[in-house]
Structure formats: structure tokens, C-alpha cells
Amino acid sequence: MSGLLPDIRIVRPSDVAAAIAAREQHPQSRFIAGGTDLLVNMRHGLIAPQSLIDISRIDELTTIEMGAAGLRVGSGVTVAALARHPAIARDYRAISQAANAIAGPGHRAMGTVGGNLCLDTRCLFYNQSEWWRQANGFCLKRDGEICHVAPQGKRCHAAFTGDLAPAFLALGAEVEIAGKQGRRRIPLGDIYVEDGLAHLAIAEDDLIVAVHLPPTAAASAYAKVRLRGAVDYPLAGVAVALGVRGDSVASIRIALTGTNSRPFVLGGTDALIGRPLSERSLQQIEQLVQKQARPMRTTIASAHYRRLAAAASARRITAALYAEQSG
């Protein structure tokens, strides 16, 4: 309940290499850009870095480039800048819709693409004040032994709730990561693992520099399930990228957020390729979502509802994207 920020050293490197070096030099440090997730968690006593490496002023991170090779979005680009980019809205609509669905205008102005991709997982037993968590005996994710969501289990079930990740995943994104060993590009999906306690599979001093998207012929959309039309994190979020040739599905990729400890691409949709999208296909999509989405009681809204609403949303936007592109 203290709500106070501890004394923190702020370091402001001018380029990516200096940022990596600073992260190494200051052991109890974290990267910070918009701070919309990090500062709230610091006030709740969930994390207690001694130094913050402020990467918000590194030019390389704040550009959006679009060309024949596709799209490159710097990790420091604000959600608001992403949301209002006209070419992204045209060619990668799911990205634009997801960006517009994030929190409120103030958060979008401050929050960044990298921050949203690396958002901490959330749970109603975790995102509480220190007083609250202490009174509840803490939890597996922080300071405690058991997961209150599934006390019999051995893992943390906190849910990933970033809106951008599923949109990027559906469109086949790769992330460009800078680390001690230099730079590398890996599929975005590879940075996530199904563990609420440690859902990011990149080294602490790795810095996501940019997200790359290939050019695409697929149309895409993002649907967010939430109680309010603004502010809320997704109870479930679904992005779909669907390519259509003639009347047949040429490509389909569906990705989810909010339901599991990581955002993920729905498996088993390849079977829908090469034929028209039928009622049967839509039922299959609903079944796949219902099977693979594993919401737990990490939110006040029921887990059952989140799974069914995710499935219904996947069905709806897939059907809409198909209708839009076929005959």
C-alpha cells in the first residue's frame, strides 16, 4: 500500500550499444521507455530496480520504416504513433486496431511497442499492493510459494495481456534483438514461454530493437474482449490474418492474448487452407480456440466466459475477413 517509488538512479544512454552496456553495468537495473507498466508495478512493490536505463531517447528505436522488404517498427515507437500510422492501418490493420485498443489515450501516448510486447503477466493475486499481497500470503510469482489461481499446481498462471503481440504474431513478425553477443532476428513467438513467472525467453540484458513484418497479401483484424470500451486489459484478444485466393483460403493465422501466460499462434488452422471458408471451418476455429486457450481465474471475469468469448471473436473476425475478400 506504500505506493511510493524508491530512490532510483536514472541512466540515459544515447544509443543501443550504450544501453546494453549500461544494463550490464547496473546489476539491479531495468530498461524503461514509457513506464506505463513498469512504474505501476514498482509502486506495488512487484519489482524494485535500483537503476532504470531510460531508452526513450534513442533515435534508432523510434522510427517506423515501410518498404519492399515489409515493415520495421522501432521498439521505442509509441503505441499512439503506431495507432495513427496510415499505411499500417491500410496494410496491417490488425496492428492498428490492437494499438488503438490499448488502455487509454494517456497510456498510448507514453507506452511503447517494445513495452507492450514485454508486458509483465497479470493476475488479480499479483497486481495488488504490498499490503494486499502480504495479507494474502504473497504468491508464487512474487515473494510466495503457492499460486492462488491453482494452488495444487506448480506453476504461475498469470496471463499475458499485451494487445500488440497477437497482431504481430498473426502477421508473422520477427523481432530484432540486441544483446551482448550482437544482434539477431528471431520469430516473435520464440521470445515467449508458457510460464506466468518467466514468460520472456530472452536474456535480461537483451533489448528488443525493432519488430519486422514481411509484406503481406493477407487482410487482418484484431478483436478485444473486455468489460469497458477503454482502459481495460484484454480478457481475451484475438488477431486473425487471412489470405484468400478466389474463394479459397490461401493463408490463415490466428493468434491469441489474454488467455494464457504467453501470446500464441493457434495450432491446427492449416487444415482450413485450400478450400472455401465454410460454417464447418468456422466451427473448427471455435473448437481450436476453446481447446488451446487456457484462461484461469486470473481476472474477476470468469475464465469460462473468456474462453468462449475468445472463440466467438475468432469466428466472427475470420468470417468478416473472408467475406471482405471473397466474391
- Chain positions contacting other proteins, by CB under 8 A: 1-4, 104, 124-125, 128-129, 131-132, 134-136, 148, 223, 225, 227-233, 300-302, 304-305, 308-309, 312-313, 315-316
Nearest alpha carbon to residue 289 among 223, 220, 245, 231: 223
Residues 189 and 167: their CA atoms lie apart, in Å, by 11
Q: What is the DSSP string of 185-201?
A: EEEGGGGB-S-SSS-B-
Residue 242 CB, shortest distance to other proteins, in Å, is 17
Q: How far is CA 210 from CA 173, 178, 188, 203, 269, in A?
A: 10, 9, 11, 16, 28
Residue 152 CB, shortest distance to other proteins, in Å, is 18
Residue whose CB is less far from other proteins, 72 or 306: 306
Residue whose CB is less far from other proteins, 170 or 308: 308
Residue 202 CB, shortest distance to other proteins, in Å, is 27
Q: What is the DSSP string of 67-128?
A: ETTEEEEETTSBHHHHHT-HHHHHH-HHHHHHHHTSS-HHHHHH-BHHHHHTPPPB-TTTSS
Residue 300 CB, shortest distance to other proteins, in Å, is 5
Residue 2 CB, shortest distance to other proteins, in Å, is 4
Residue 213 CB, shortest distance to other proteins, in Å, is 27
Residue 301 CB, shortest distance to other proteins, in Å, is 5
Residue whose CB is less far from other proteins, 148 or 199: 148
Residue whose CB is less far from other proteins, 62 or 257: 257
Residues 181 and 201: their CA atoms lie apart, in Å, by 16
Q: Is the dihedral of CA 321, 115, 262, 308 positive or negative?
A: negative
Q: What is the CA radius of gyration of the chain?
A: 20
Residue whose CB is less far from other proteins, 124 or 203: 124
8 phi and psi, to 5 degrees?
-130, 140
Residue whose CB is less far from other proteins, 176 or 232: 232
Residue whose CB is less far from other proteins, 280 or 304: 304
In this structure, the number of other CB atoms found within 10 A of the CB of residue 280 comes to 10
CB 321 within 8 A of CB 293: no
Q: Strand 219-225 to strand 236-245: parallel, antiparallel, or no bridges (unpaired)?
A: antiparallel
